[in-house]
Structure 1
């Protein structure tokens, strides 16, 4: 049996090629995503490990990661703490360090020097010691407050060389410096921009206070364990600070990065799962058709004494070999994909060294688990059918099959699963929290997809008949034959169309979600934003107070309202703690925004020690106007705040659904200084908006970190950001469509082989080669249109469910991207025609006499 299996596999290797390609693509996507995320993590781990001091002393509850990025707050501690720290037993050295991220570096040409992907721009002192992650590559260290070094990677990207002039825009002031040296990273630089100044003046230039520092770096004497030294330093300096070993500091930084990497990894693996699912349809279809075509061969084996389990094992061995070959090739392709992703990220601003690519032992395990496992699972049902082929089938001229009862059973089972999926979506519609709604959305999507796959074959006949109504008039009898061929085996047509259905359903559902987000935001801007202009950073990063000062001094400005993002920890009545990003605004909010209040007003919201909360959030936690709760701010300070208002949506101004807002005077009493994230500007009476915009842009021309936008510009910014995400989704889902096309090609190719004698008879009775090609193409188009109809219907259901989830977050407008729907329908026709090219060509080239004599 083994020899027979190997010979059969060799005889049908061409028929299995496309299935192997589907396995290859699925495995490659899994392997590529795992290797890429491991490489990024390893790169940052090395960077964090190389830059962390043996023990670091930080301000209590200093903001990190996203909190620091959004708030711009920079807590400090006394630089004088370095002296008592240096006296601790086991300390080799202790010194104050200044390191800030809320700076902008501007070149001679007025352009910002930095990454466009959100990587930070960091200004720090040049501390000569082995732990530094950079080394002097050119020039000399900076001396005094008019010199600086720049990292060589950034210098090369922005054409900066020694002797050029730069401006460092920091919160205390803007400083003009000369580049006196370039620093090269000793590890891979993922994209950050580093500027180094003289450590003796760093605190004054970057913090505005020569007696402050952002941390104290402590170096351990030889042989002193880091945890022991940390405890000694903590005992000497007291409880008012945070103490971390090098390992803890690296873990903290890696944990923040891990959240982002986790999202990227799971998104990529999610699309790999889609590719695997689509590949399963292709493999099932391929083996089912091969078993059907080999009915006489399998029947003969049974007649010669082969047992059912031997026949089943024969088919599974073919699947095993197919899976091993596909997984092996997919593993190699996955490594190539990881290299391509590294190169792509370099073009986008995240610079990774291809030499750092990590291939962990889990990678080949995952490759073969996916490739072999998926193939064996997909081939299990065809193998079972193969074992049931009776010996008498060897004498029959036609395929032995029974499609009636199983088809009815599948339809009934699909209906049951569809009802369960509909129930999950009903529960989603009734959910009051986004978290619970998201859970029901995942359940509903999974169940409705399973229902469509199960019931798909039962829908083939009614749907295909409707789709093919106009075809006979357009294409004549050839179209009738094409439609009948598609109806001949509903299971095969349903499985082939399901592969395309999955990709199209996801595209349709996510397109509806994306269109609803942009439409909702457009309406929200029109409804709530009363300012003539919005001044902000493209990436919503904060900027220095110099921007507000310049805007306020522009002739024709009527009112300027500042908004800052505020990381808050709210102690709720039930004893839990809720972390959110709030907003702090100037009391003149009503002049630039129209906030819809459910209770209270702006005076209550921004009054002393007051805050406003989202109405739905307050209702869930038993809060109302007059309730008090403890709020924790950056720097570890806490305050009792009274709820002064409830709003219908959490954000009082552009910046997102922040969940809470308060007055800037309240924030400034309880938190270290932060930075503005948004300026809302109104023109004074007598000044037209076009004139004011020109003046604002002229006043901010040398501050490239911010842009002036009117309503239309602000809407377009959000549309562009949503579009980038959707384009990424479309590109990734393109993989699923490619595999679906392979499925259609495979089905048609095997169908042509299966109907060789029939096609020969058609040619013998007068059908031309051109008509034969047209018949195969029309059959392909019908299959793809059937998949498109199912995909559009399923995607519409998912899109409506996703809109309900978005509505819980305040995005209530439903928008259907009709152009995308039309593109999906037209694309299905293109897919059908493309997939049929080779099978149609092969069918038309058959020798008529050989085809009639085919067994």
Structure 2
């Protein structure tokens, strides 16, 4: 059998070329994924940046640690606080006895015409990075600053806190855009200091701070005081999720393509297997022959894929760094296990792909294949029908169960990425039963046109069920993945936008003057309700497409950008404008321990209840907004306890524990319904938005002018809704592009392979057309039209899968009280279907044109 398999591979190399390329590509991608994962696990420890030369850094309490228990096992859950506490004054007094204490004050600097993300610091902290003057001098007066080298000495900057003059510049160190003020001016702009540098012995500092709610940082731990200290870890986690998803899709589509190729190859070789059976071969020997062919192809393809993966991984790492998906230091290491994982997975994929085909080959009788007509009368086997029906039933049942038990689960990225694959597989298995009626339906109109072309296209495609199903299957995969993934994000984003529109009843929304770049990821914008009620730590897949993040302070950012709200003077002016009701709200968070095992963070919005009731229409399921007070909270239905009147124990944004009564309950929505508290329960939060509703008789134009004069960026309700429309984040976008690119590449390989394999079977058919009087061009036109018809059938099946998946998501949104349209991404579907059509036409017409170079009589006498 092995000898026969070797001879088969040599004589039918074109049959197995597509399988070889598909497997090689899959193994290469798996190797790249494994090497990336291994390199991220061996990541070096993050070194301090802002405080590289500081002896000791002391931070106020910035984490919440709560004991949890699972059975007899007791552990602690830790979360970053939304509002880190300042270092206690008593602790500062102790530290000052040990040496010089320098308070670090970090705050955003908003100005126009310069780089975004400017962070202000006291000049005395510049030496710890260290920053060194490259031009000019240090600041001496409140109106002087030192910046990075994007500015020049003498240049004036118009900031929210007044005009300042650049008197010096420093070289950029790459991790921030600093603006250094005098220490006194920095203290005025940022009165609270959540961390400080102590120039003293670390042991003495630890002894002085013992028992205090502070963290003493030395060595590499000083990086925890840097801006966004977790960015490397988060970037690596996101990158691993991206390549993990791509690897899963690669394995899925690889099995799909290999199985399709072997199934079609077996169907083509029925007469060959019949001859072997006539010569005495047993069904087991036939099966072993087919499996041996797959094993040989798998070994060669897997080895080739490992070599390609080793070459491609460093280039992928460079690309990930260039586009900002990976930290700048990221490189591929020298781990060996990813090659073993990729090789053996590729071999397993090859064997899994051939199992069904080998069983079918073994069932060929000694004379059955020799008598069988060219028409595929039994394309759908009983086993395939049962498997397809079972998977379809499983897809429908799991969808219904999710809608009944937990509709919110269907909105998570990990769900709407994986769920389509089950339905795609089911429809692909049932394709032989579906393609014949679909083909007749799609080709019905062309068949009514004058001439025989349309009728020939319809009958050829309908008669060759196996060939039609083999070509339609990869098109189905690509179209269904494109429609399901892109349609899911578009549907979810539109639902979030609908929530914003329905909740926002204010006539104007005012944000701090510097926050003019309103995007879906801008902390100054967002839904009227808080976002991110589902804690990212509990569901990493739920946060990829979330709406605007309301929390303007970045977790763990050393206080940088912590105070992005209105100053007291501006806020007072906004509130005293006549003819309006102003609701000033701020971003915060609360933490709750559910079932004693999970510490959940919920984004919170702090607001006064009376103005809030006038300027917003919260999606309440029970209770009233007006019942909110300093001893209560508004939660949503996702909370474990969500009955009006119940009491919940929570930790506020600064870690303070408090028991609050539930005043009202909001619906779950898209998962962005956080909680509402009063300002008294949001210590450390700064007002970052003011919703304004006009009193009857007030002139909108006059009010808008007054709002601008008070010092804010003013948006009308419609402008706010448009500006806060959520978008797909960069990691998700790159992930989908990678997944869809892989699917389209595999589709091209499968189409090319299937069309080339089918060309040999159609030589005599083409010759008959020529003998019947068809011209060379007419024959090629029929071949091309048939390819387009089959692609259309695959596109219809893909659209069917897309519609079912998106309908499930739309049903989940309806059950969660969210009203929004189902978005089918028609332009993207048209693009991928067009690409499939081009590939199908090229790889069907080209082999046919090559075959017809021989004389027609010779073609008519050609046998397999």
- Name which of 117, 133, 136 aligns with 2:132: 136
What is the Cα deviation at residue 531 of structure 1?
1.1
**1:556-583 Cα deviation digits (max 9, x unpaired):** 6723321112111235697865421111
Aligned counterpart for 1:540 among listed residues 523, 545, 548: 523
Matched, 1:751 2:758: yes
Against the structure 1 CA distance between its residues 825 and 181, is the aligned structure 2 distance closer, same or farther, given a 3 Å change threshold? closer
- 8 Å CA contact 1:49–1:247 kept in 2: the answer is no
- Give, in angstroms, the shift of residue 739 of structure 1: 2.3
State the shift of 1:515 in Å. 4.6
In the alignment, the residues of structure 1 paired with residue 124 and residue 430 of structure 2 have an alpha-carbon distance, to the nearest angstrom, of: 68
1:58 matched residue in structure 2: 59
How far did 1:82 drift? 6.1
Q: Which whole-Å CA distance do the structure 2 matches of 1:137 and 1:13 have between them?
A: 68
Deviation (angstroms), 1:150: 3.6
Is residue 36–residue 341 contact of structure 1 (8 Å, CA) maintained in 2? no
Residue 795 of structure 1 corresponds to 802
Q: 1:612 aligns with which of 602, 610, 634?
A: 634
Q: CA deviation at 1:401?
A: 12
- Tell me which moved more, 629-638 or 420-429: 629-638
Q: Distance in 1 between matches of 2:858 and 2:58?
A: 85
TM-score (normalised: structure 2): 0.78
Q: Indicate if the aligned counterparts of 1:60 and 1:242 stay in contact, CA closer than 8 A.
A: yes
The answer to whether 1:463 aligns with 2:438 is: yes
Partner in structure 2 of residue 98 of structure 1: 104
| TM-score, structure 1 as length reference | 0.79
Preserved CA contact (<8 Å) 1:125 1:202 = no
Quick one: distance in 2 between partners of 1:398 and 1:327? 42
Q: Which runs of 5+ in 1 are unaligned?
A: 222-228, 701-705
Could you report, residue by residue, the CA deviation over 1:608-629 in whole angstroms, capped at 9, with x for unpaired residues?
Answer: 3222222x246x426422x333
- Residues 383 and 825 of structure 1: is their aligned pair in 2 closer, same or farther, counting only changes over 3 Å? same
1:274 aligns with 2:274: no
| Cα 1:830–1:240 shift into 2, 3 Å | closer
Of 286, 292, 295, 1:316 maps to 295
Deviation at 1:98, TM superposition (A): 0.8
1:30 shift after superposition: 4.8
Which residue is equivalent to 1:852?
860
For the Cα contact (< 8 Å) 1:324–1:368, is it kept in 2?
A: yes
Task: Provide the residue aligned with 2:85 in structure 1.
Answer: 75
How many residues are treated as equivalent by the alignment?
790
Over residues 97-136 of structure 1, what are the superposed CA-to-partner deviations in whole Å (9 max), with x where a residue is unaligned?
4153x41242xxx235225xxxx8464655476xx55553
**1:178-215 CA distance string (max 9 Å, x none):** 25122343xxx4x64333455x5476155226xx5524
Separation in 1, partners of 2:189, 2:365 = 84
Residue 524 of structure 1 and its aligned partner are, at CA, apart by 3.4
Task: After TM superposition, give the deviation of residue 808 of structure 1 in Å.
Answer: 5.7
Looking at structure 2, the residues matched to 786 and 447 of structure 1 have their Cα atoms a distance apart, in angstroms, of 20
* RMSD of aligned residue pairs (Cα, Å): 4.5
Deviates more, 1:760-769 or 1:8-17: 8-17
User: Displacement, 1:343?
Assistant: 2.9
Match of residue 224 from structure 1: none
Give how far 1:843 is off: 0.6
The answer to whether structure 1 residue 659 and structure 2 residue 659 are counterparts is no
Distance 1:445 1:424 in 2: 12
Equivalence for 2:206: 233
| SS class of match (1:775) | helix
Higher helix proportion (structure 1 or 2): 1
Within-5 A mapping of 1:277-676: 277-293=252-268, 308=286, 309=288, 312-345=291-324, 353=328, 356=331, 360-382=335-357, 404=378, 407-432=381-406, 434-435=408-409, 445-474=420-449, 476-536=451-511, 537=515, 538=518, 539-541=522-524, 542=552, 544-546=564-566, 549-550=569-570, 553=573, 558-570=580-592, 577-587=599-609, 588-605=611-628, 607-614=629-636, 616-617=637-638, 620-621=640-641, 623-625=643-645, 627-648=646-667, 657-664=672-679, 666-667=680-681, 671=683, 673-676=684-687
Q: Structure 1 residues 771 and 112 mapped into 2: Cα distance closer, same or farther (>3 Å)?
A: same
CA deviation digits over 1:205-238, x for unaligned, max 9? 55226xx5524457767xxxxxxx59x8157542
- Distance (Å, rounded) in 2 between the aligned partners of 1:824 and 1:730: 14
Preserved CA contact (<8 Å) 2:104 2:194: yes
1:139–1:611 Cα change, 3 Å: same
Deviation of 1:317 (Å):
0.5
* Change in 2 beyond 3 A, CA 1:698/1:320: farther
> What secondary structure, in the 3-state scheme, does the structure 1 residue paired with 2:604 have?
strand
Q: Show the counterpart of 1:207.
A: 190
1:403: how far off?
Answer: 7.2
CA contact (8 A) 1:45 1:250 kept: no
Structure 2: gaps of 5 or more residues? 66-77, 525-551, 553-562
Q: Is the 8 A contact 1:105 1:113 kept in 2?
A: no
Quickly say closer, same or farther: Cα 1:139–1:752, change in 2 above 3 A: same
Call closer, same or farther: CA 1:284–1:216 in 2, change over 3 Å: same
Q: Following the alignment from structure 2 to structure 1, what is the Cα–Cα distance between the partners of residues 34 and 113?
A: 36
Is structure 2 residue 663 aligned with structure 1 residue 679? no
Counterpart selection for 1:828 from 830, 833, 839: 833
Aligned mate of 1:817, from 798, 815, 823? 823
* CA drift at 1:585: 0.8
C-alpha distance in 2 between matches for 1:650 and 1:409:
42
Q: In the alignment, which residue of structure 1 is the partner of 2:748? A: 741
Determine helix, strand or coil for the equivalent of 2:292: helix
Matches of 2:346 and 2:749, distance apart in 1: 17
Question: Which residue does the alignment assign to 2:533?
Answer: none
Counterpart residue number, 1:182: 170
Distance between the aligned counterparts of 2:307 and 2:333, measured in 1? Answer: 18
